[in-house]
Amino acid sequence: MSAETMRRVLIVGGVAGGASCAARLRRLDERADIHIFERGPHVSFANCGLPYYIGDVIPREEDLLVAGPQIFEKRFRIHVHANTEAVAIDRAAGELRVRDLTTGGERSERFDHLVLSPGASPIRPPLPGIDRPGIFTLRNIPDSVTIREWIAGRRAKSAVIVGGGFIGLEMAENLARRGLEVTVVEMLNQVMPPFDPEMAEYVAAELRAQGVRLALGDGVAAFEEGPGGNILVKTASGAEYAGDMVVLSIGVRPDTALAKAAGLELGPRGGIKTDDQMRTSDPRIFAIGDAVEVRDWVTGAPVLIPLAGPANRQGRIAADALCGRDSKFRGTQGTAICGIFELQAAATGASEKALRRAEFTDFETLALHPNNHAGYYPGAEKIHMKIIFRTSDGLLLGAQAVGRAGVDRRIDVIAALIQKHGTVFDLEESELCYAPQFGTAKDAINFAGMAAANVLRGDVALAHWHEPAQEGTLFLDVRSPEEFAGGHVAGALNIPLETLRDRLTEIPAGADIRAYCAVGIRGYLATRVLFQNGIPARNLSGGFHSAPAKMRA
Ligand code: FAD
């Protein structure tokens, strides 16, 4: 087949989505003429490793290169054009206009099919002083090299991170690890925006314990020159934080300029609109990765979820579709994990706050704190978990977990079940690997399922810590007197579980009883005793471990 008759597929963007699309396409079509155009100097690099390169955990820049142009050329016969920016799409002519950034020269490249994987750009709001030297964003290897050089050149001792999301917190950890004093300024009242606030609180506590200063609920208003030539970050509340450098990590915006200029349809959230095979409004053009809008797997709403996993899967699906296969992208459920010093924080599916925002009402939440492995085996750690499920049928809607070990496994199991429309009854019945150093015979996953199924079967009624107390509310603490003395809910009545059956007369008739223990198990047992003695009571989800600080006496 001559070059003229080979189909020509051009790919814009050569990292997560673009590189995986190109490689898959080659595996499926040995004859296609495949070209990757990448604005930056590298293709297929590990964006997710950048904070760890800055933190010296990944020692060498070349360790970030997953596959270089030679591998693409030699192993896959894919032509890589680095330092080459796509500047316009002529859909009528079937041509991509590209600019060689080393020479400035432009040329047109013919295509039969075009795949757009340009990613998303870090947001730089037009705030006063935003262009001052020393204010960085992080997207690629050159950004990380610039940050490293600044730290070394200025002997930076302090940094202000603007934005407490995943990248911001990874940068906080890595800069702190290099000995910098770090402050995180975040507009919301919590770090980790995809998490519910009470779960994010565990992460905030770890950051504070590691010496990271948190300024929550305060937005950045301006950047000025500070004492000694450093940067002064001024916030809306009037507070000021000085740092030798600033990292802006307040989110990303899909790179849609090319698509928009070419008249491709965008979705309501501003990403490129595609069908479930990643085809844009022009059937010859596909789009994948952070630049596209996806369907939220749980709510069905159009969303922007910039994650590496979906970008890679979409690349593969676009290549399949280009070869006539019927692979379809199912949507994104936002499964993500972040390491914060010694802590792991992971989530999948919808959060409680997202469901409330979407005005979903048919759901229940459950907090629990199981061990990652058998308590009798040395080194057991608590996993703080929250699961969210549909009340009407137990369908799993979301889960979050924070802990020092075993978090990834639990969230991955739930993520896989959510994708298969699993229910809390499936969690209850899941058969998971077990030996004492890895789990418990009744795994954290089973516990979550059993506790949720108990609720749906009417064996226990749940109360939540955020429910305001009312006239007649009785907080019944069923822990031991020693535990009670170590901290309890203000005004609670302490009747240890072991004496409850003999002291039922002490419980005022008609009270709104909210029983609690340390993590919820004895509270559940207590409500069973009370129920069967004709006394309605609810178990406080998560027990005293989940009680907000303001309720503790
Ligand atoms: P990218 O991988 O960003 O690739 C887009 C490429 O297109 C860029 O290299 C860009 O230079 C190029 N490009 C753009 N426009 C043009 C043009 N006009 N012409 C030519 N080239 C162009 N996700 C996770 O799931 N887990 C993580 O731990 C994680 N950590 C991250 C840490 C950091 C610091 C960053 C920045 C991202 C992280 N992500 C993580 C997100 C993940 O990297 C992205 O979701 C994923 O890379 C998106 O793939 P993509 O192909 O859409 O875009």
Identify the residue whose C-alpha is closest to ligand 1 atom 45: 307
pLDDT score for 546: 95
Q: Which residue has the higher pLDDT, 68 or 339?
A: 339
Atom of ligand 1 nearest to the CA of 336: 25
φ, ψ (nearest 5 deg) of residue 87: -115, -20
Ligand 1 atom index nearest CA of 120: 3
Which ligand 1 atom is the nearest neighbour of the CA of 292?
A: 52
Give the residue-averaged pLDDT of 236-252.
97
Atom of ligand 1 nearest to the CA of 19: 51
In DSSP terms, 296 is beta-bridged to: 332
DSSP characters over 304-366: ----HHHHHHHHHHHHHHHTT-------B---EEEEETTEEEEEEE--HHHHHHTT--SEEEE
Question: What are the two backbone dihedrals, phi and then psi, of residue 414, each rounded to the nearest 5 degrees?
Answer: -65, -40
Would you call 170 helix, strand, or coil by DSSP? helix
% of the chain surpassing 70 pLDDT? 99
Mean pLDDT to the nearest integer, 238-251: 97
pLDDT score recorded for residue 537: 97
| Atom of ligand 1 at shortest range from CA of 98 | 19
Q: What is the pLDDT of residues 159-184, one digit of tens each?
A: 999 999 999 999 999 999 999 999 99
pLDDT at residue 1, as a whole number: 52
Mind listing the pLDDT tens digit for each residue in 72-111? Answer: 999 999 999 999 999 999 999 999 999 999 999 999 999 9
Among 44, 47, 335, residue to substitute to test ligand 1 (most atoms within 8 Å of Cβ): 47
Three-state SS for 122? strand
Instruction: Give the residue, by CA position, lying nearest to ligand 1 atom 53.
Output: 119
Q: Which pair of tokens denotes residue 199?
A: 């779960």
Lowest average pLDDT, out of 34-38, 221-225, 227-231, 431-435, goes to 227-231
Tell me which residue of 114, 111, 101, 102 sits closest to 12, measured CA to CA.
114
Contacts of 361 (CB under 8 A, 6+ apart): none
Higher pLDDT, 235 or 66: 235
**What would the pLDDT profile of 484-496 be if each residue is shown by its tens digit?**
999 999 999 999 9
Which whole-number Å values give the CA distances from 161 to 146, 166, 335, 365, 459, in the listed order?
16, 12, 24, 32, 47
DSSP label at residue 158: E
- 48, 166, 411: residue to mutate for ligand 1 pocket, most atoms within 8 A of CB: 48
Which run of H or of E encompasses 295?
Answer: strand 294-295
122 Cα nearest atom in ligand 1: 36
Nearest to 185 by CA among 165, 201, 170, 205: 165
Q: How many angstroms separate the CA atoms of 281 and 275, rounded? A: 8
Q: Which atom of ligand 1 is nearest to the CA of 289?
A: 52
The arithmetic mean of pLDDT across residues 519-548, rounded, is: 96
Look at 205-214, 222-231, 252-261, 395-404 and tell me which has the smallest mean pLDDT.
222-231
Nearest to 527 by CA among 552, 504, 551, 550: 504
Mean pLDDT computed over 426-430: 97
Task: State yes or no: pLDDT of 22 exceeds 70.
Answer: yes
Q: What is the pLDDT of residue 298?
A: 92
The torsion defined by the Cα of 492, 520, 471 and 199, in degrees rounded to 10, comes to 100
Please name the residues in contact with 172: beta carbons below 8 A apart, sequence gap of 6 or more.
Answer: 161, 182, 184, 207, 212, 340
Amino acid type, 469: A
Q: pLDDT at position 2, please?
A: 55
Judge whether residue 535 has pLDDT over 90.
yes
CA of 184 to the centre of ligand 1 (A): 23
- Give 228's pLDDT tier (boundaries 50, 70, 90): confident
Residue 68's pLDDT is 84
The answer to whether the beta carbons of residues 400 and 195 sit under 8 Å apart is: yes
From 185, 177, 176, select the one nearest 158 (Cα to Cα): 176
| Residues 134-143: tens digit of each pLDDT | 999 999 999 9
Nearest CA to ligand 1 atom 1: 119
Q: How far is the CA of 314 from the centre of ligand 1 (A)?
A: 13
Task: Give me the amino acid identity at 139.
Answer: R
The 10 Å Cβ neighbour count of residue 307 is 19
Q: 383-390 and 396-403 as β-strands: parallel, antiparallel, unpaired?
A: antiparallel
Residue nearest to atom 31 of ligand 1 (CA): 48
Known catalytic residues are 48
For residue 4, the model assigns a pLDDT of 53
Instruction: Choose among 194, 237, 200, 198: nearest CA to 215.
Output: 237
| Ligand 1 pocket at CB < 6 A | 12-13, 15-18, 37-40, 47-48, 50-51, 85-86, 117-119, 138-140, 167, 255, 258, 289-291, 306-309, 311
Rg, Å, the chain Cα set: 27
Mean per-residue pLDDT of the chain:
96
Measured CA to CA, the distance from residue 445 to residue 456 in angstroms comes to 17
Q: How far is the CA of 432 from the centre of ligand 1 (A)?
A: 34
CA of 301 to the centre of ligand 1 (A): 23
| DSSP label at residue 175 | H
Q: How far, in Å, is the centroid of ligand 1 from the Cα of 167? A: 13
CB 349 within 8 A of CB 334: yes
Residue carrying the six token digits 């994987």: 117
With 90 as the cut, is the pLDDT of residue 154 above it? yes
Q: Cite the beta strand spans of 137-216 per DSSP E.
A: 158-162, 181-186, 213-216
The Å distance, Cα 147 to ligand 1 centre, comes to: 18
pLDDT band at 229 (very low <50, low <70, confident <90, very high): confident
Q: Is pLDDT at 5 greater than 70 in this prediction?
A: no
Chain segment 465-486, per-residue pLDDT in tens: 999 999 999 999 999 999 999 9
CA distances 14 to 20, 95, 117, 278, Å, are 8, 19, 7, 17
Q: What is the rounded distance in angstroms from the CA atom of residue 315 to the CA atom of residue 254? A: 16
Q: What is the pLDDT of residues 291-344, one digit of tens each?
A: 999 999 999 999 999 999 999 999 999 999 999 999 999 999 999 999 999 999
Residue nearest to atom 12 of ligand 1 (CA): 13
- Residue of minimum CA distance from atom 3 in ligand 1: 119
pLDDT of residue 67: 86
Query: DSSP assignment of 449-486, as one string?
Result: HHHHHHHHTTS-EEE-TTSPP-TTEEEEE-S-HHHHHT
Q: Which of these, 25, 24, 21, 20, lies nearest to 7 by C-alpha position?
A: 25
If you measure from the C-alpha of residue 16 to the centroid of ligand 1, how many angstroms do you get, rounded to a whole number? 6
Q: Is 26 helix (H, G, I), strand (E, B) or coil?
A: helix
Lookup result for tokens 């939540």: 464
Centre of ligand 1 to C-alpha 123, Å, is: 14
Structure tokens given for 154: 């200025």
Q: d(Cα 216, Cα 186) in Å, to the nearest integer? A: 5
Tens digit of pLDDT for each residue in 272-296? 999 999 999 999 999 999 999 999 9
Pairing of strands 113-116, 120-122: unpaired
- What's the pLDDT at 227? 81
